[in-house]
Structure 1
């Protein structure tokens, strides 16, 4: 309830000066001071930032909620691989039960390594290591795969303990809300700080808001990427279904389920394809089906019911419901955008 209320408050274009402001603005001021102090301590050498022997590309965000980092990382890895570049990925593995540094393997579970690293591995098959310390994960990856040429760090803009050559900052389609810091707004860091000079590339969906203001963060052009659902969904039983076949009257009962930061974005994309949803089940981000079980709506399904889910949820949901169909979210990058990344990488390595 509190999270939903906060999100509504964050998205108000001009929040009023009511009780919420009186409570939240001082907390945001305190939070902002802590963030600035922490970054200052790293910049001035009081805290150590460690380097890896290969270039590091950080893909992260400063806005709370789903920005689309995971499909962007998948697209970026695939494009670099097509150019013959050997890529590895490091991540924290949010929500996992284990704490040690682990390699993500085919037999790994989301509970062990996190749902997003597992999804990236299943889609790309590149080496991926998870650890609280991305530097530790990177060293473990390079020890196991010494031919790796580039490491992509998932969600690492605030992880200052690892040095990086290029930073991509991804913004969600709905923009920056009221532009305030947590908890008075959705921002993890102020967009006015000197740290924004370290952002090399700003990324936002073509349907996104605030593109003009985001252009001020970097001299590089804003990457406008297109996100769309694949027309084909698949399940753990090896079956596939065309979403177009679900856009019919008097078809099967269709439930959509999403345990992501912005479930409504998934439901809206399905509806945009003409899929008529009997039920849309929004769950908490990183929802653990193994621990919390299936939502009650899914216990009452008939044989002709179709359940659609995100790929991120599928890696956990399939253990209980292998017949659920995962709908991939796809991001396409242009050759010019990949060229831009590599050019910036070389520029920062050899200024």
Structure 2
């Protein structure tokens, strides 16, 4: 966590990592050049391919963006599928088409979440080209949505979306000096930047980026019991999680503070906030003693097998501008 703290707080000691950053730049730049020159092969899918990725490490809202896009396409009668790496899962046989009862510890938390929210094919495969070919052959999808994969150039794409949050690009340096997988200049070649929350207007590194921006809001819609799946309104949740109760919030996402801030903004008084690493594999011993344990939906899929009735997750839905959806549909010709 200390390295990530340095990335976003502008600590000067990261300069000791300059030799490693130069090596990372050389290798990554050479790799992309080899794909551009067709020295390394890239796969052209018969499906329309939308990449929802980022240029920085860590979670910042890619999965809610994918879910929102899929729901919009489905509402227009367009069939789609989702392809992910399956990060954090133990599955070794690829490509793998998720089933309804898959354990998130096997397939990864984000694939499990998407499969439970959407009644569409969800496939995991670290080799995106192979996964895309599998989806072509075994599903009726017209559009392939890739959750992550902006840097996976072995799969050609029709649309590139870069998702960012209020942390922006941190100190603006490449790994490991900073959080970036690619330079800020890469933002000028994507189709859209999707901002999850407030834009970091003060960051000088973003001043020369000309790509269109879509402001995304993650809007809480309901509280859902992790064990029983009972659903209550936000107002009912506020009343249930009263100030007289001991309420503990936990989050194992890319930016846990975002979840804690959401709870605070909703008026819920939290006794303790527990932050875990992104993709943390929760165990029963991680569950705190409390009257109520509040968590994200991403964490809930990993806690469902052992959660008690005092555990609830906040369902959130991504809201994106109408102009963004119009652009996407026009570019996809749907």
Q: Which residue of 2 aligns with 1:240?
A: 231
**How far apart are residue 320 of structure 1 and its match?**
1.1
Is 1:228–2:222 an aligned residue pair?
no
* 1:235–1:27 distance in 2 versus 1, CA, 3 Å: same
Say if 1:10 and 1:185, in contact at 8 Å, map to a contact too: yes
Question: Deviations for 1:8-56, whole angstroms, at most 9, x for unmatched residues?
Answer: 211124x43xxx2442122212211111011111111121111111110
* 1:250–1:114 distance in 2 versus 1, CA, 3 Å: closer
Q: Which residue of 2 aligns with 1:52?
A: 45
Describe how 1:1-351 pairs up with structure 2 within 5 A. Answer: 4-13=1-10, 15-16=11-12, 20-100=13-93, 101-145=95-139, 147-192=140-185, 195-210=186-201, 214=206, 216-219=208-211, 221-247=212-238, 250-289=243-282, 292-295=283-286, 298=288, 300-301=289-290, 305-323=291-309, 324-346=311-333
The runs of 5 or more residues in structure 2 that have no matched partner are none
Q: Distance in 2 between matches of 1:111 and 1:143?
A: 27
Q: Secondary structure at the match of 1:157?
A: coil
Say if 2:219 and 2:319, in contact at 8 Å, map to a contact too: no
The runs of 5 or more residues in structure 1 that have no matched partner are none
Say if 2:52 and 2:161, in contact at 8 Å, map to a contact too: yes
Q: Secondary structure at the match of 1:294?
A: helix
Deviates more, 1:267-276 or 1:313-322: 313-322
**How far apart are residue 110 of structure 1 and its match?**
0.9
**How far apart are residue 206 of structure 1 and its match?**
4.2
Q: How many residues align?
A: 329
Q: Distance in 1 between matches of 2:173 and 2:244?
A: 45
Question: Deviations for 1:114-167, whole angstroms, at most 9, x for unmatched residues?
Answer: 11011111111111111111122122222221x311100110101111111110
Q: Distance in 1 between matches of 2:329 and 2:181?
A: 27
CA RMSD of aligned residues (A): 2.1
Q: Distance in 1 between matches of 2:8 and 2:92?
A: 35
* 1:223–1:254 distance in 2 versus 1, CA, 3 Å: same
Deviates more, 1:266-275 or 1:331-340: 331-340
Q: Distance in 1 between matches of 2:147 and 2:14?
A: 33
Say if 1:226 and 1:332, in contact at 8 Å, map to a contact too: yes
